[in-house]
Chains A and B, each alone.
Chain A
C-alpha cells in the first residue's frame, strides 16, 4: 500500500493509487513545512531561525513563506554565526522557548560543536537536572551539483558519539513531519538530519499533527533471510534492493532506523536473531559509523545468532569528489545493497576473507573499477 511506501514523486504516488486509497500525498519538504507551520500556529514558544529561512526559496521549500504568516520575529533570518546562534538557541531554550535552528547543510554544524557538545548536550547533567535545552537543530545532507567535500557530508556519527543529544534521520515524509514535532517537544537537544534527495519524495502524511517516537526504528519490510538496516536516503535504496532480492528468492527484512541516538537495539537484535544475517546501509563514512555501533551491539548481545559476517555499506574513505564522473562512483545505492545481501548469503568461508576497506565494500569500490592504482 502507498501508506508504507515512499515514491520518487507525486506522479508515482498517484499511479500507485495513493489518492484513490484516500491517502494524502505530501513531499518530504511539504511535510517539514506543515509540521513547522502547525507548531508555529499552535505554540508561541516555537520559533525558527537560521540563515535564509525567510528567503524566497525558504530552505528548499521547507520554510517557504512562513515568515509572511508568522512574522520575522518568529521566522528569523540571522547573521551567519553558527556557533553563537547555537548559543542563542540554548539561551532562548533556557527561558522556555522551543527553537528550531536550520542549517542548509549539515556541513555547517561542525562550526557549532562547542555550543552543541560542550554546552547543550551537558547542561541538563551539569546542573543536576535543573536546566534543560529543548532545541532542534535541522540540517540537510547535500548531494550532487558539484556539492563536493564541504557541502555534501553525512556527519551524523560525529553527533551520535556524545551523551546528552539525540540524533534522528527521517527517511520519508510521514516521519519527517512526526519526528520534527517530537524533536521540538523533546526535552533534550535533537539533531535532525534531512537528506536533500528526499525532499521531493512523496508519501502519505496525515494533516492532523502527530508525533513519531524518537528512538524507535521500524520494520519497513518483513523478511526472513537477511536484515538490511538503513537510514535516511538509504532506506529508499534498501526498499528497492529488497524488491530485487525478492525476485531472486532472497527474503530481506528492511529496518528504517529513524534515530541513531537513542538506538533501537531491541528491534535490531530481534531481527538479526531471526535472519542471522545483516547489512547496514549508512549514508556516511565507515570508521566509527553507526554500522560499527550496530554490529558491535549484535556481537555483544547476539553473537551466536550470526550466520555470516555482517556487511557495511558506506562511502569510500575520502571526501566527496567534485567531479561528476567520480561522484557517480562515490555513492553506494541499491546495487551495492543487493550485492552485500547476496554476500551474506554465500558460503560462510567468504566472510573470513579480509581485504582493504574500500575493496571490501564490494564491486562498487573505486579501486576495483580501476580508476585508481
Chain B
C-alpha cells in the first residue's frame, strides 16, 4: 500500500485573547486599517443591538443577532473590494454594514419590505438567503460567470456550520473546484445551528478539511480575531482573482445571542460555555491590541460609539419614514412583465 495523498489543516490566529500579535503571521497593515476594523465592528454592533431593541418593541420582525461574529463577518468582508460579489445567509448584517449597504434599506428588509433588498448600483450584495445553504451554488455560478467574462472579481459566499451538512454545500463546492470558480467560501462556524451543536453536524474534526475533497485550499481561522480573518480572506480573494480557484475558510467563532429573536438558547446551551466565549469576543482583543499600538483610548472609543449610534438613529428614522409599499406592489414584482391573470389581479388591488 502507498499513500497517494495527505492533507493537513492549519489554524490561523494573529492576535490572541490578550491582544498580543504573533509577529510571524502579522500582516503589515496601516494603522487606519485597524481603526477601520474597530469602527466597523462598533457600527455593526450598534446596528445589531438597535435591531434587537426594535424587534422587542414590535418595530421590526424576527431578527438574527450577529453578536460575537463581528470579526468573522467584518474581517472577511473588508478583504474584498466594493466591486466584488457578496452572497450571504440571513445572519450577515456585519457584511452588509461593512460594505456600506444603506442601513435604512437593511432595516426595511427586517421590517418586512421587499424594497429593502433593492441593492444600490455599484454594490453586488445579493439577497440574503434564508433557506440554508441554497446561496452556495449561486456564488459558484456568479464566480463561473466572472471567469467566463474575464472579469477579475471574486465572490464572497457566506454560510454557517449548519449549511455544511446540506447537499447544496457539497454540490456547490464540488463544482466550484472543478471549474476553478473565483469564490471564497466563508463558513461562519458559530458552533450552533439553532439547537444543533457543531458535534452533530459532522464527525470530521473541522469543516475546513472538506476543502481537500473538492480540490481547493482550506483553512480554519480564529473567527474572533479580525486580523486573522482579514489575512486569510485577503489571500483567498487574491488567489481567486489570479485564477487560482476557490478557497474554503472556516471562521471558528461563536453565536453569543439566541439563534433569532424567536429562540431561547438558554434551553439548550450551557451558561458556562456562553460565558467562556464571552471572554473571547472580538472587540476585547482588538481593543487591547490597538491600545498597545497607541491607537485606542477610551475617548476614541466613546467618539466612535457616539458616531455609530447617531448613524443608526438616523437610519431608523429614515427607514420608518418610508411610506409602506403600494397595494399594487403585492403583485407587481412577480414577473418582469405580468400575465393576463396577474394584470387582472393587479387591477383588483388597485394597480
A residues near B (Cβ < 8 Å) are 47, 73-74, 78-79, 81, 83-97, 114-115, 118-119, 123-132, 163-164, 166, 186-188, 215, 261-263, 265-266
Contact with A along B88-131 (1 / 0, CB 8 A): 00000000000000000000000001111111000000110101
Verify if B320 is at the interface (C-beta below 8 Å from A). Answer: no
Verify if B174 is at the interface (C-beta below 8 Å from A). Answer: yes
Q: Least Cβ distance of A95 to chain B in Å?
A: 4
| Cβ-neighbour of A83 out of B113, B148, B167 (below 8 A) | B167
A94 adjacent to B142 (CB under 8 Å) = yes
Q: Least Cβ distance of A233 to chain B in Å?
A: 25
A125 to B113, CA, bound (A): 11
Residues of chain B contacted by A129 (CB below 8 angstroms): 118, 332-333
A84 adjacent to B167 (CB under 8 Å) = yes
A87 to B143, CA, bound (A): 12
Would you give 26 A-B contacts (Cβ < 8 Å), ordered by A?
Answer: A73-B148, A74-B148, A79-B178, A81-B171, A84-B140, A87-B137, A87-B140, A88-B141, A88-B175, A91-B138, A93-B141, A94-B141, A124-B333, A125-B333, A126-B114, A127-B127, A130-B117, A130-B118, A131-B119, A163-B342, A166-B335, A187-B335, A215-B340, A263-B340, A265-B340, A266-B340
Residues of chain A contacted by B6 (CB below 8 angstroms): none
Q: Least Cβ distance of A279 to chain B in Å?
A: 23
Contact A87/B337 with A79-B174, A118-B134, A123-B127 known, Cβ cut-off 8 Å:
no
Contact A127/B341 with A85-B175, A90-B138, A115-B137 known, Cβ cut-off 8 Å:
no
Residues of chain B contacted by A92 (CB below 8 angstroms): 141-142, 144-145
By beta carbon, the residue of chain B nearest A80 is: B171
Interface size class of chain B, counting residues whose CB lies under 8 Å from the partner chain: 35 or more
A256 to B172, CA, bound (A): 39
Verify if B205 is at the interface (C-beta below 8 Å from A). Answer: no
A93 to B146, CA, bound (A): 11
A84 adjacent to B172 (CB under 8 Å) = yes
A91 to B167, CA, bound (A): 17
Q: Least Cβ distance of B161 to chain A in Å?
A: 19
Q: Which of A86, A93, A262 has the most CB of B within 10 A?
A: A262
| Cβ-neighbour of B138 out of A94, A97, A132 (below 8 A) | A94
| Cβ-neighbour of A265 out of B135, B141, B175, B341 (below 8 A) | B341
Q: Least Cβ distance of A79 to chain B in Å?
A: 6
